[in-house]
Amino acid sequence: METECLSIDNLSCDFLTVEGIVYALSRVNLQLKRGEIHGLVGESGCGKSVTSRAVLGLVDRKHTRLGGVVWFDGKNLLTLPEEEIRSIRGKRISMIFQDPLNSLSPLETVGSQIEEAMANHLDLKQPELRRRTASLLEKVGLHPDTGRQYPFELSGGMQQRVMIAQAISCNPELLIADEPTTALDLTIQAQVLSLIKNLQKELSLTVLLITHNFALVTENCDRASVMYAGRIVETAPVRSLIESAAHPYTRALINCIPRSNTAEGNRRAKLPVIFGSPPRLYAPPEGCPFAPRCPKADEACAKKPAVTELGEGRSVCCHYPGDT
Ligand SMILES: Nc1ncnc2c1ncn2[C@@H]1O[C@H](COP(=O)(O)OP(=O)(O)OP(=O)(O)O)[C@@H](O)[C@H]1O
Ligand SMILES: [Mg+2]
């Protein structure tokens, strides 16, 4: 039977800043099925990283207002005491960030950083820690001696592999990968993603793959949620998104995928763009936030659209779902 690994229900996140309130997330719903790779995709600033930070309790509680519920193993992560969320973060839910150099300490060897994660969360001592670190490094395609090196001695792709080794070191159930390959060149990007995919299968991980690049979603994910201006506008299995996306924003994102190695791509030299820019989150629009950029928008779109369930795990938030 299919079970959920994590369920985000009506998550909202407001940042209380000196310039005013930033309404970063509005009633975000996202259900991760156990064992799937779920893509979270959308333009820069739409709230992808805030979603992952809110889930992991990595927000400044004093200046942030969170609403909704994040269910994980029968508990609401948003209301867990700091100590309890710390015992989950890095162990049962782990994270890979875009920029490994900012996440790894420059002063310690990568091996000791992997060991530290395991010493914190698992009751392990030397020489077991060293042995496990060597085997983790091999698992991510690095020589075990890499453990003796410092992060600055490694290439970007190798650093990202170290981050992955650290992230899987405590046998997590859920891996959140926030733009894990954006800083890498295309070949290394493909290698790192195929590593994540292989580990996901081998370790039965659930993966939330966060990216602004829809092509990565189509190549790597089972299902995906499309985010716009702090809202999920469409969720569906990736195949149905490609074949019949129901939200105009999803269709626009798909049209922006370069098809350089196809005959169609060669004919179509110029890539379409989505004109305009997302709304400022200081004053979210009353109606559909995509309306000002949407070719299909009319008077109805001045009102907030409701979420429509389309069956087969598909849902869309649009007044005219599926209209082409
Ligand atoms: N601490 C904060 N205080 C105020 N506003 C914030 C804070 N953190 C994020 N934001 C705002 O929340 C919005 C969403 O940011 P977020 O980092 O989640 O975007 P993103 O989708 O991850 O973008 P990118 O693809 O560029 O990483 C942005 O408008 C950002 O400026
Ligand atoms: Mg981000």
Q: Checking phi first, is residue 115 left (phi over 0); if not, alpha (psi -120 to 50) or beta?
A: alpha
pLDDT at residue number 261:
52
CA nearest ligand 1 atom 9, residue: 50
Ligand 1 atom closest to Cα of residue 98: 27
Q: Which protein residues touch ligand 1 with a CB less than 6 Å away? A: 15, 17, 22, 24, 42, 44-50, 212, 281
Which atom of ligand 1 lies at the shortest distance from residue 230's CA? 14
Nearest CA, atom 24, ligand 1: 44
Distance (Å) from CA 182 to ligand 1 centroid: 17
What's the whole-model pTM score?
0.94
Question: pLDDT at position 102, please?
Answer: 82
- Among all bound ligands, the one having the nearest atom to the CA of 63 is 1
Measuring from atom 31 of ligand 1, which residue has the nearest CA?
45
CA of 318 to the centre of ligand 2 (A): 24
- pLDDT tens series, the chain, 324 aa: 458 999 999 999 999 999 899 999 999 999 999 999 999 999 999 999 999 999 998 999 899 999 999 999 999 999 999 999 999 999 999 999 888 778 899 999 999 999 998 998 998 999 999 999 999 999 999 999 999 999 999 998 999 999 999 999 999 999 999 998 887 888 888 988 999 999 999 999 999 999 999 999 999 999 999 999 999 999 999 999 999 999 999 999 998 887 765 555 555 556 667 777 788 888 878 899 999 999 889 999 999 999 999 998 999 999 998 866
CB 317 within 8 A of CB 42: no
CA of residue 207 to ligand 2 center, whole Å: 16
The per-residue pLDDT for 269 is 59
**Cβ–Cβ under 8 Å, residues 147 and 109:** yes
Tokens representing 9 are: 């229900």
- The rounded Å distance from CA 148 to ligand 1 centre is 36
Nearest residue CA, atom 11 of ligand 1?
Answer: 24
SS3 of residue 252 by DSSP = helix
Residue type, 101: L
Distance of CA 95 from the midpoint of ligand 2 (Å): 13
Q: What is the pLDDT of residue 99?
A: 81
Query: How many other CB atoms are there within 10 angstroms of residue 302's CB atom?
Result: 13
Ligand 1 atom closest to residue 50's alpha carbon, by position in its atom list: 18
| C-alpha 56 to ligand 2 mean position (Å) | 14
Q: Yes or no: say if 41 and 214 are a contact pair by the CB < 8 Å rule.
A: yes
Best probe residue, ligand 1, of 15, 41, 181 (max atoms within 8 Å of C-beta): 15
Whole-Å CA distances, 131 to 49, 104, 124, 159: 34, 21, 11, 20
pLDDT for residue 5: 96
Could you give phi then psi for residue 64, rounded to 5 degrees?
-135, 135
Shortest-distance Cα residue to atom 1 of ligand 1: 15
Cβ contact 147:111 at 8 Å: yes
Can you give the pLDDT at residue 220? 94
Distance CA 38, CA 28 (A): 15
Q: Which of 17, 49, 216 most suits a substitution to test ligand 1, by most atoms within 8 Å of the C-beta?
A: 49
> What pLDDT shows up at residue 300?
93
Q: Whose CA is nearest to atom 19 of ligand 1?
A: 45
